[in-house]
Structure 1
Amino acid sequence: MEVLDLKELTKLLAAPKVEPINRRNIFFRRLSAGIILFLVDTTVLSLTMFLSLFLRDIIWAGEVDLRYYVNIVPVIIFLFPIAFYFRGLYPAFGVDVIDELKNLTYSITIVYAIVAAMSFLLKGSWEYSRIAFLLSWLLSLALVPIGRSATRKICSSKSWWGIPVFVIGAGEAGEKVIKSLMKHKQIGLRPLVAVDDDINRWGYIEGIPVVGGLETIPELAHRLKVDHSIIAMPKVPRIRQKEIIEKYSKYFAQTTVIPDLFGLTSLWVSTRDLGGILGLEVQQRLIRKSSRIKKRIFDLVLSITLGLFAFPICLFISAMIWLDSKGKVFFRQERMGLGDSRFDIVKFRTMHIDAEDRLTHLLKNDNDLKCEYEVYHKLRNDPRMTRVGKFLRKFSLDELPQFINVIKGEMSLIGPRAYMPWEKYKMNGHEEMILNVKPGISGLWQVTDRNASSFEERNIIDVYYIRNWSMFLDLYILARTIAVVFSGKGAY
């Protein structure tokens, strides 16, 4: 946070560098974003339909008469925007990416189910290839989210993308909220101004002015005409927080409260009405047997399929390792699995055979490297790595043999990090939750901060994943993993 001196602060409070919001401007922002997403959705959906016909023609041979699709395509194009609108997907400002993926999946599936039912009832009127119809549905599930994600990425750099939000609280939580929204502009919530009773917090956070105490909210809300506020004061006493919500939420059409659930913050915490009493439900979804069965099926289908495609690559990598340095092609290391069990994780060898001796020597003679290793449990410029090993680590190709661990049931494709036994005693109580599920080849921490996060932060992210697991979250992480791996950013 940038702190102002008294003179600058007086000037800031006298004339905050915040312009009133034009409500017509906000309307056109929402409208513009909705129209752009609608056009992208329509274009992608149309392409998936014709691409499915093309693929059907190639794979199963035989010409497809496009005249049969003259009736069905307009109906599908008409139904999709309606379904998307009622699921809150236009313009979808403030909608989390996982929720958007879930809503898109439901909407697309419902529309295709309606069309299938209509075609059954209108036999003779609609004739189409069932294979092409199925391919179109599958392609829509994959390509529509990608099209939307790319659109948000492009539009988020524009000043008209998103709606302004008023942040109440500029402490640790408020600062995190502002920084997160500024970093992830594609969400569409743009901090405009913040307030806090602590004068030491007045100044700027990421260029957003913190202009005064909470008593300024009525005047600022009236002058700025902001509809959305975020109350980020989870550490204040419950009675005081209740007062703040009751007193100031009335100045905004929508207010989001950042809670403090004993350190269990979550985007997926759900509310429950317990006879007029508000309850917050925190789930541990991967503990359920049904969830584990679904996850196991997901693991087997994908790991076998991807493993077959990766097999030729693995043969080439094995040859390169054998030619590059002395030692075995594969590296095995004991890790902790489900229920604190032990198993050998399989990777391609990326280090010299005397790596442990080199590490001991390095840490003994270099305090900076020792500090880095204690925080991250790895080194950015690791001299233990071979030439081929550096390339494999950069693109995470050394982890391909772990498909074997997944097929054997020792690991999952997506899950917490596979920790070494000695790391258990540094997990600060998180081990009970983390060791209650199978470790994964990839996970939430790999696609967020990747290797930049500290050991403690990785533990917290792993616990967050376990509490909030869903198939949509796994699909999101898998898609992000592919993107992160190909970029090679942050891996070492």
Structure 2
Amino acid sequence: MMLIVRDSMDYTLRFVVLYLMIQAMFGHYRVSTLLVWEEVELLIKSHLCFYMASLLLIPIGKKSVYLLVFNLLITFCMFVFDIFISRSIRIVLRDYAKERVLIIGTGREAEQLDHVVKTNRFSLMEVVGFIDVNDKELFPNMHQEVLVKKNIYPVRDLVDIIEQQDIDTAIIAISDATKEQMDHFMSILYNKVEKIKYLPRTSGMVTFDTKVQDFDGLLVVSTAKGKTSKGAAIMKRIIDIAGGIAGMILLLPLYFYVKKKNHANGDYDPIFFTQERIGKDGKPFKIYKFRTMVPNAEQVLEQLMEENPAIREEYETNKKLRDDPRITAAGKVLREKSLDEFPQFINVIKGEMSMVGPRPYLPREIKDMGMYYNSVIGCTPGVTGMWQSHGRSDVSFDDRLKMDDYYYRNWTIWLDMTILIKTVKMVFKGEGAL
């Protein structure tokens, strides 16, 4: 296509060489286990870089503006083409290029790893099985829940499984393992597999700005939260305003649906309800939601907890009830699709909330937030967030806090876009409804 507007083969050749060099610099031609989100991010950055560099090759003249637009079109077409090719190559060559993975562990981390691999085929990984480390003779102080469902092997057969299943990568998914236990696994795996990976015990303090430093022979991990630039903050607000306007348009028909449904069941109380939540820097604000519960829901909850200790324990642990008897007929439908959150777009327009951010916590939950409180109030609360897109109602209160802390320490515009896309997919599939 360059030949259509360029007379010089040499000029076209320079554009092709420039494109290939920049893609190679960004690692586009390597075979790796990138997730689809990382691959798309890499392609966006590499093609933006290519377009900016291509401007240097445009001669100044009458056709300069035309060439600027044409190069932008070519760059966009190559971006779409590269996404298609990357996806197609991974599908066609998956059986030849995928890594055969053995996960050591059967608990929560092993279950999450398995889920990520299954839902991100772009990563070119296949989980062959799991190693059950519950062996009283080898590891008397270790006990893991067995949350995975199939292909579970005893730890004593680890070496045999590696050989029989032709394992390429072993992942140690036991973050609470002691140094002695980790050394034991490392000594067994050494020279038995091509790659050894493990989930470290980080307490949420390791971020993408963390650096590993050599301190005169000592391995030192230096961690800090990255600074948010003014440009990124402005971009986030622009996305919030655009998303808020789109949400408000969808809010109108939902309002009439809920009103009609409630009136049909003899419920003439207000459609919306407001509740005080914790905002950025700890400033309280009134959150808007569709009322999905019966009137006087708080009083009903107190009565339920007094009458049933199991309900009290469940609520105090997770801050919600899985089968809540207070939910209305319209509320059940709204919650299944998370549509009860739509009035929060009013908060987004007002600047009290963001499209993506930590969960807007209740003031009474402050005492349970512990060290994560400062991380939570360091961001504007969001309509969706890490916990909604990574399990939603299946995530415990403590895990929600850890995810919100992760978001605070690792925030980028790209992380927001990833969470928004995953949330939309989960809402349409109806997974893990609130």
Higher RCO structure (Cα 8 Å, ≥6 apart)? 1
Correspondence 1:342 to 2:284: yes
Instruction: State the Cα distance separating 1:425 from its structure 2 match.
Output: 1.5
SS at match of 2:244: helix
Q: Which segments of 5 or more consecutive residues in structure 1 lack a partner in the other structure?
A: 1-45, 50-65
Q: Residue 240 of structure 2 aligns with which residue?
A: 303
Q: How far 1:259 sits from its partner (Å)? A: 2.0
Matched residue SS, 1:278? strand
* SS of residue matched to 1:446: helix
2:90–2:124 contact (8 Å) kept in structure 1: no
One of 348, 352, 356 as aligned partner of 2:298: 356
1:164 matched to which residue of 2? 100
1:219-261 deviation per Cα after TM superposition (whole angstroms, max 9, x unaligned): 8767766443434555454477468657853444433243222
CA pair 435-300 structure 1, distance change in 2 beyond 3 A: closer
Q: Would you say the 8 A contact 2:292–2:328 is kept in 1?
A: yes
Deviations 1:28-86 (A, max 9, x none): xxxxxxxxxxxxxxxxxx9xx9xxxxxxxxxxxxxxxx954999999988866664455
SS at match of 1:190: strand
Corresponding residue SS for 2:288: strand
Query: What is the TM-score with the length of structure 2 in the denominator?
Result: 0.76
When residues 321 and 284 of structure 1 are mapped into structure 2, their CA distance, relative to the original with a 3 A threshold, is same
Q: Secondary structure at the match of 1:413?
A: strand
Which whole-Å deviations, capped at 9, do the CAs of 1:389-425 have from their partners, x for residues lacking one?
3333333333333333234332222111000000111
Q: Quote how far apart the aligned CAs of 1:335 are.
A: 0.4
**RMSD, aligned α-carbons:** 4.5
In the TM superposition, residue 178 of structure 1 has moved relative to its aligned partner by 5.8
1:421 to 341, 359, 363: 363
Unaligned 5+ segments in structure 2 are 140-145
CA 129–366 in structure 1, closer or farther in 2 if over 3 Å, else same: farther
- For residues 260 and 93 of structure 1, the distance between their equivalents in structure 2, rounded to whole angstroms, comes to 25
Map 1:365-444; keep pairs closer than 5 Å: 365-366=307-308, 369-444=311-386
Matched, 1:95 2:34: yes
Matches within 5 A, 1:218-233: 226-232=167-173
Greater mean alpha carbon deviation, residues 388-397 or residues 420-429 = 388-397
The superposition leaves residues 248-288 of structure 1 with CA deviations (integer Å, 9 ceiling, x where unpaired) of 53444433243222464667754334455433233323xx3
1:66-465 to 2 correspondences below 5 Å: 67-68=4-5, 83-90=22-29, 92-118=31-57, 120-121=58-59, 128=66, 130-131=68-69, 134=72, 162-167=98-103, 169-170=104-105, 172=107, 175-176=110-111, 179-180=114-115, 183-184=118-119, 186=121, 187-192=123-128, 199=135, 206-210=149-153, 212-213=155-156, 217=159, 226-232=167-173, 234-238=175-179, 241=182, 245=186, 248-262=189-203, 264=205, 269-274=210-215, 277-285=218-226, 288=227, 290-291=228-229, 293-323=230-260, 324-325=262-263, 326-366=268-308, 369-465=311-407
1:489 equivalent in structure 2: 431
Shift of 1:444: 0.7
Of residues 475, 481, 489, the one that matches 2:417 is 475
Q: Name the SS of the counterpart of 1:279 in structure 2.
A: strand
Change (3 A) 1:242 1:312: closer
* Amino acid across the alignment from 2:125: L
Residues 1:113 and 1:295: Cα distance change in structure 2 (over 3 Å): closer
Task: Tell whether the 8 Å contact from 1:335 to 1:342 is kept in structure 2 after alignment.
Answer: yes
Partner of 1:32: none
Secondary structure in 1 matching 2:126: strand
CA 1:199–1:240: 2 relative to 1, 3 Å: closer
| CA contact 1:170–1:210 (8 Å) conserved in 2 | no
Cα drift, residue 464 of structure 1: 1.9
Amino acid at match of 2:286: D
Which shifted more, 438-447 or 240-249? Answer: 240-249
Matched to 2:366, the amino acid is K
Q: How many residues align?
A: 419
Residues in 2 aligned to 1:488 and 1:69: alpha-carbon distance in whole angstroms: 52
Query: In the aligned structure 1, how far is the partner of 2:333 from the partner of 2:17?
Result: 48
8 Å Cα contact 2:241-2:348 kept in structure 1: no
- Residues of 2 paired with 1:259 and 1:162: CA distance? 24
Instruction: Supply the distance in 2 between the matched residues of 1:107 and 1:396 (Cα, whole angstroms).
Output: 36
Shift of residue 368 of structure 1? 5.3
Structure 1 residue 386: deviation in Å?
3.9
1:166, 1:228 within 8 Å by CA — same for their partners in 2? yes
Q: Secondary structure at 2:331's aligned position in 1?
A: helix
Contact preservation (8 Å) 1:415, 1:440: yes
- Provide the secondary structure at the position in 1 that maps to 2:277: strand
Change (3 A) 1:317 1:445: same
> 1:429 and 1:390 mapped to 2: Cα distance?
34
Contact 1:83/1:111, CA 8 A, preserved across alignment: yes
Distance 1:381 1:364 in 2: 17
Give me the identity figure in percent. 27
Contact 1:76 1:111 (8 Å CA) reproduced: no
- What letter is aligned with 1:319? F
1: CA distance, partners of 2:327 / 2:118: 33
TM-score (norm 1): 0.68
SS at match of 2:295: coil
Distance 1:91 1:127 in 2: 35
**3-state DSSP class of the match of 2:371?**
coil
The one-letter code sitting in structure 1 at the alignment partner of 2:34 is: V
The 8 Å contact of residues 106 and 131 in structure 2, kept in 1 or not, is answered as: no
Measured in 2, the distance between the counterparts of 1:459 and 1:204 equals 22
Residues 363 and 88 of structure 1: CA distance in aligned 2, closer, same or farther (over 3 Å):
same
